Amino acid sequence: MEENKTGKNVSSGAKKVERIENDKAKAAAKVSAPAGAKKTKKTTSSTKKATAQRSTKTPAHPKSDERAQKREEAAAEKRLNAAKAKAEKKEKKLLSKAQLKEKKLEKRAKLKEQRLQKKAAFLEKKAERKQKKLDHAAELKARREERKSQKAARREMLKNESKADRSARREREKKEKYAQRNTRREAREKARARRMESRQASKERRSQERRHKREQNTERRKHAPGFGGWLAAVISLGVACLALGTVVTAGAFRMNQMDLNTANAYRSTLYELVSVSGDMDNSLSKLRVTSGANEQRRLLTNLIVDSELMESALERMPIESMTTTDMTSFVNKTSQYSNELMRKLNAGIPLSAEEKAKVEQLYKTNAGLYSELNTLTTTMEEKDFKEFIGGKEGTVMQKMGKISKGTARIEETEDAPFSEEGNVGKNRLSDRKEISRSEAEELARKYFENYHVKDVQFMGETATESAECYNFRLTDEDDVELYAQITKKGGELAFFNLYEACPDKNFDLDTCDMLAREYLESLGIDGVEAVWLSDAGMVADITYVGVQNGVRIYPDLIRVRVCESKGRVVGIDAMEYHLNHKERELEAASSRETAQTSLGEGLEPYAVHLALIPVDDQEVLTHEFACTYGDEEYIIYVDVKTGEEVQIYRVRMGAHGSYLE
C-alpha cells in the first residue's frame, strides 16, 4: 500500500524511472540462472529434473555472473538515459509550442496596434483636411470682406475727389495699365525667346556631340595598328619598362605620395571654402530677418570669423590673385560691413532699412557664390582637379574665375531714378524756423498718434551737409520699436522706420499705394505721383515724386514702405522732398516726336513723360522715355532744349523686383 501511494504522487517520467528500476532488479535476480538456459512457456518434469541435476553438477562461474550483471546494469543505465532524453525532448517540444504561441499572440497584438494607429492617423488627417477647408473658407470670406472694405474706401475717396484729381488719377491709372500690359507682353516675349534659345542651344550641343563622336570613330579606325605591329610595340614597351622600372620605382613612390598629399590638401581647402560659404549663407539669411540686437550681434560675430576663414582658404588655393580678386573683395566687404554694423549695435543704435537692404544684397551674392562652389565640388572630375592643382588653365580654373566675377557687383536695391541726389539748388529748409528738442518730441508724438506710442526716447542729433535732425526711438504698446528723425528747422518728419515683421500678404500694391497717399496727406504732402513700385517680400516699397502741370519733379522725391500684412506705413524717407520742394516756373517743352529723334536706333519707347531732373546740381526739363532694346529695358532722359541725352538708366531684374544701373 505504501508503494502504491508513492506511485500516485510522482510524474509520468518518475513512473518510467521506477519501472526501469524494477526491470533492473528483476534482471539482476535472473543472473543466477545458467547462461545457456532458454525461456519456454511450458517446462516438463524431465527438463526440471535435468536442470536440477546440472545445477548440482555444474555450478555457475563467479566471473561470468559478474560480467553479465555489469552488462545488464549498463543496458539498464542506457535505457534510463534514453527515457530521460525522451522526456527532455518532449518537454522542449512543449516549451517551443508555448513560445510559438506567445509570438503569434504578440504579432497579432502588434498588428492590432498598427491598425489602430493607422486609423488614428487617418482620422487626424481627415480632421486636418476638414480644418484646412474651414480655414480656407474663412480666408476667402475675409478676403471678400477686405475687398468690400477696399471698394467702400475707394468709393469714399472717389466721392470726395476733385475734378482735377479725378482727371489725374484716371490718366495715371491708364498709364499704369498700359505699362503693366506692356510689361506682361515683354515678359511673355522674353520667356518665349529664352525657350527658343534653350532649344537651339540644346540642338546645337547634340549636333556637336554627334559630330565629335563621328570624328573620334574615324580617327580610331584610321590609326588602328595591325596585330603584328601592336605585338612588337607591346614587347618593346615591356622591355623598356622593365629597364626603367628598376631605376625610378623608389623615386616614383615618393613623388606619388607627395602628389597625393598635395591633392588632398587642396581638395580639403576647396571643401572648406564650400563649408564656410554655407555658414555665411546661414548667418546672412538669419540676419536679414531678425530684429533682436543680441541675435544680430551673435550673427555678425559669426560673419566676421567666417570671412577671415574664407579669406585664408582663398589664399591657400593654387589660383592667381587676379582670378579671385572679386571674390576676395566681396569677402572683405562682408567683414568690414559686419564690423561697422557691430559698432552701431554696440552704441545702442538699431539697424536701419537701408542697412537691412544691404544685408539682403550680401545674402543674395553669397547665396550665388555658395551654390556655384557646391556645384563645382559635386560635378568636378578627377582629371579636371589634377589640372587645377597643377596650375593649368582647365575647367575648374575657368569656373573659379566665373564664380569670382559673379561676386563683383553687389546688386543694388530697388530704386527710382535720381533717388540719391539730395539737395539740388537752394536748400528749402535753411529759411525755416529752428525748433527745440521738446517741440520735436511733441511733433513726433503727433506724427505717430495712430501708432499707439507709449514711450518716446531721445537718441541724440544727426548733422549732415544738408540738414540737422533730432533722433527719437518710439515704442508702442506691443514693445515694437520705431526710429524717427525730425528736422531741426521746420520740424518735418524726414525719416522713420518701424521694426515690425510682415509675414503675410493681405494687401496688394494698389491698396498699399492708396494707404501711402493717405499717410502723406496727413503729413501735408500732396500732389505726388508714384513712379516706382516694388514688392520686396511682404513690404511694398513705393517711390513718389512731385507733379506740377503734368511734369514729374524728381528732386521732390519721397520713398514710402507699407506693410502688406497689416496695411500700414512702416517707413518713409522724405528728406529730398523737404530740401527741394517748391513751385517751379517750367519752360515750354519741345514735342515728343522731336525729342524721340534723338534716341538711338533700335530703341522702342513704350512710355513717355515730361520730367524735371537734377543734372550737375541744376534742374533740367527733359523728356523721359521708357524704352526696350531687344530683351533689355532702359530709361532715357532727353533735354527739351538741346535734344541731347543727359541721363540713361538700365533696368535690371532682381530677386525683389526691378532696380537701376
Mean pLDDT computed over 247-259? 47
d(CA 560, CA 519): 9
- How far apart (Å, rounded) are the C-alpha atoms in residues 496 and 469? 12
- List % helix, strand, coil for the chain (3-state, nearest 5): 60, 20, 25
Domain boundaries, the chain: 183-215, 232-406, 422-582, 587-661
- Could you give the CA distance from residue 307 to residue 548 in angstroms, rounded to a whole number? 50
Digit-coded pLDDT (tens) for 599-631: 888 888 888 889 999 887 788 999 999 898 888
Give the span between the Cα atoms of 367 and 585, in whole angstroms: 49
The sign of the torsion formed by the CA atoms of 579, 583, 585, 589 equals: positive
Question: Given the DSSP bridges, would you call strands 632-639 and 618-629 parallel, antiparallel or unpaired?
Answer: antiparallel
| Residue burial 39-54, b: 16+ Cβ < 10 Å; e: rest | eeeeeeeeeeeeeeee
SS3 state of residue 289: coil
Is the per-residue pLDDT at 492 higher than 90? yes
Q: Which helix (H) or strand (E) holds 552?
A: strand 551-563
Go through the chain and tell me how many residues it has.
661
User: For residue 271, what is its C-alpha cell?
Assistant: 571643401
Judge contact between 515 and 569, C-beta under 8 A. yes
How confident is the model over 179-192, as pLDDT tens digits?
776 677 667 667 76
Rounded Cα distance between 211 and 91, Å, is 80
Helix and strand tally (H, E) in the chain?
A: 15, 13
CB burial of 256-275 (b: ≥16 within 10 Å; e: otherwise) equals: eeeeeeebeebeebbebbbb
* 469 against 232, higher pLDDT: 469
Query: Pairing between strand 539-548 and 551-563?
Result: antiparallel
Tell which CATH architecture fits domain 587-661.
Roll (3.10)
In the predicted model, what is the mean pLDDT of the chain? 76
565 in Cβ contact with 505 (< 8 Å): yes
Asked if residue 302 has pLDDT above 90, the reply is no
Cα–Cα distance, 403 to 401 (Å, whole number):
5
Is the pLDDT score of 411 beyond 80?
no
Q: Cα(597)–Cα(605) distance, rounded to whole angstroms?
A: 11
N-term to C-term CA, the chain: 121
Q: Which three cell numbers stand for residue 259?
A: 602628389
In this model, does residue 493 exceed pLDDT 90? Answer: yes
* pLDDT-above-70 percentage for the chain: 70
Would you give the DSSP letter of residue 61? P
Q: Rounded distance, CA 203 to CA 527, Å?
A: 55
Taking Cα atoms as reference points, which of 512, 510, 485, 507 lies closest to residue 496?
Answer: 485
Type and span of the H or E element at 453 = strand 453-463
Q: Rounded to an integer, what distance in angstroms lies between the CA atom of residue 106 and that of residue 113?
A: 10
What is the Cα–Cα distance from 144 to 634, expressed in whole angstroms? 39
pLDDT per position as a tens digit, 176-225? 766 776 677 667 667 767 776 776 677 677 777 777 777 776 666 555 55
pTM of the predicted protein model = 0.44
Read off the pLDDT of residues 527-547 as tens digits, 9 standing for 90 and up.
899 988 877 667 888 899 999
